[in-house]
Amino acid sequence: MILKVYGMKDPANIADLQAVQPDWMGMIFYSKSPRFVDLQINTQSINSKRIGVFVNAPQSEIEAKIIDYKLDGIQLHGQESPDFCQRFLDKDIIVIKAFAIGTSFDFNDIIPYEGTCNYYLFDTYGKTPGGTGKTFNWEILDHYNLQTPFLLSGGIGPDSVAALRAFNHPKWVGVDINSRFEKEPGIKNIQKVQHFKDELFGK
């Protein structure tokens, strides 16, 4: 099970999070986000997989960030096409395509992405790209029968452990956490993240 902590932007907080050893660490390269990474971070010291989060960014911009921040993967939150995803998959970059889940979401709509991404990320539908801090109805995922593994996102917090333990799906491979573990946007409460990891995955 993958633990992904995203929305990281502060070098000191990133260094502190290393003690928790999350599998993946996400940095947001979307200027409208309060967690936008607006400075150069020395990512060589990050032991976790480094994931860059983008929203409808041009290919050239993403490629530049991959080099500058030594990204292992990208998470795409916009209207990126299957072909766009495939271009990065062909470069051996981890590709995560995010989809916002509302009450009327139809999984047939994402069939064209099959084979073009390593993972999907299912988040709660909102009016703007990115997280809402709210949880969608996970029962909707009973209708997901495609082959691409997925991560759960959206409103997952320190009090979500029991619900996550009760959730079951053969293609579920990880959780994505952010705002409910923060002191302020971009600054994680390390103790809360550590406790959540210990409770969910065991010490």
Dump pLDDT digits (tens) for 42-80: 888 889 999 999 999 999 999 999 999 999 999 999 999
Domain range summary for the chain, segments of one domain joined by +: 2-201
- Mean pLDDT score, 23-34: 95
Q: What mean pLDDT value characterizes the chain?
A: 93
Provide the token pair at 162: 């029991």
pTM metric for this prediction? 0.94
Give the N- to C-terminal CA distance of the chain in Å, as an integer.
14
Dihedral over Cα of 187, 70, 54, 103: its sign? negative
Compute, in degrees rounded to 10, the torsion defined by CA atoms 24, 27, 29, 32: 120
Provide the token pair at 25: 């660490």
What span, in angstroms and rounded, lies between the C-alpha atoms of 15 and 149? 29
- Judge whether residue 18 has pLDDT over 60: yes
Over residues 114-130, the pLDDT tens digits come to: 999 999 999 986 655 55
pLDDT for 103: 80
- Mean pLDDT score, 190-202: 95
CATH architecture assignment, domain 2-201: Alpha-Beta Barrel (3.20)
pLDDT bucket at 104, cuts 50 / 70 / 90 = confident
Compute, in degrees rounded to 10, the torsion defined by CA atoms 192, 194, 195, 200: 120
pLDDT for 29: 96
What span, in angstroms and rounded, lies between the C-alpha atoms of 168 and 189? 28
pLDDT for 8: 96
Q: What percent of the chain has pLDDT over 70?
A: 95
pLDDT bucket at 39, cuts 50 / 70 / 90 = confident
